[in-house]
A and B are shown apart, each in its own frame.
Chain A
């Protein structure tokens, strides 16, 4: 049982826009930044979004993040086949790291 709640799966066709939700509580998302990580099959997670909506250098602007209250969302526009991966939200809860259970994104 993960501290943050994500839908287990999401899907879309190439070119579509998909969103993935992440729900937490006042002690984590509600009072701290949200992060998103992308995990391609067989690889380590990669930072996709930090501080709710900031993209590290090299991450396409097709990826965007938002936060409202105790929930957050990751949006992927112009979906591409290479976006098929697992996506995890994360936050700090006081001094403890917490993750969502992950959302498997399928590009149909």
Chain B
């Protein structure tokens, strides 16, 4: 059974870069049947799609974050990562990694448990 687990610092200072990693277990990230995404949720608010990566390395980003976001994949470690630069308090949120199955549904069928990131000095 495939599982996703986010990891990274829970506290980031303003203007610095937020870095998170999602580790995929129980399956290979190199499978061509999935996109790997990052999604965030500020406290008490809705979900915001940040971006996605395919195992080839091709990416798509939310236009509102595109200038600050980089998503990368490390197939040797079965991980993909998020970097968000120049963070502000508005970037404080629970960050989820999720898998989108693309052979049939394009749905986010598996999610990580989420990791809380606070931007504060």
Checking B37, B96, B108 against A35 with a beta-carbon cut-off of 8 angstroms, the contacting residue is B108
The reply to whether B108 and A2 form a contact with Cβ atoms under 8 Å apart is no
Chain B: minimal CB distance from A52 (Å): 10
Interface contacts beyond A97-B49, A99-B48: sample of 12 additional A-B pairs, CB < 8 Å, sorted by A: A33-B106, A37-B108, A43-B113, A44-B112, A46-B111, A47-B109, A50-B109, A56-B109, A88-B47, A97-B37, A99-B46, A99-B49
Whether B69 sits at the interface, judged by CB under 8 Å, is no
Residues of B within 8 A of A (CB): 37, 39, 46-49, 52, 60, 62-63, 96, 100, 104-109, 111-114
CA distance A101 to B35 in the complex (A): 23
Could you name 29 residue pairs across A and B whose Cβ atoms are closer than 8 Å? A33-B105, A33-B106, A35-B105, A35-B107, A37-B47, A37-B108, A43-B113, A44-B96, A44-B111, A44-B113, A45-B47, A45-B108, A46-B111, A47-B108, A47-B109, A50-B106, A50-B109, A51-B105, A56-B107, A88-B46, A90-B108, A96-B49, A96-B62, A97-B49, A97-B100, A98-B49, A99-B46, A99-B49, A100-B46
Within the complex, what minimum Cβ distance (angstroms) separates B24 from chain A? 15
Query: Nearest chain B CB to A103's CB is how many angstroms away?
Result: 10
Closest chain B residue to A33, Cβ basis:
B106
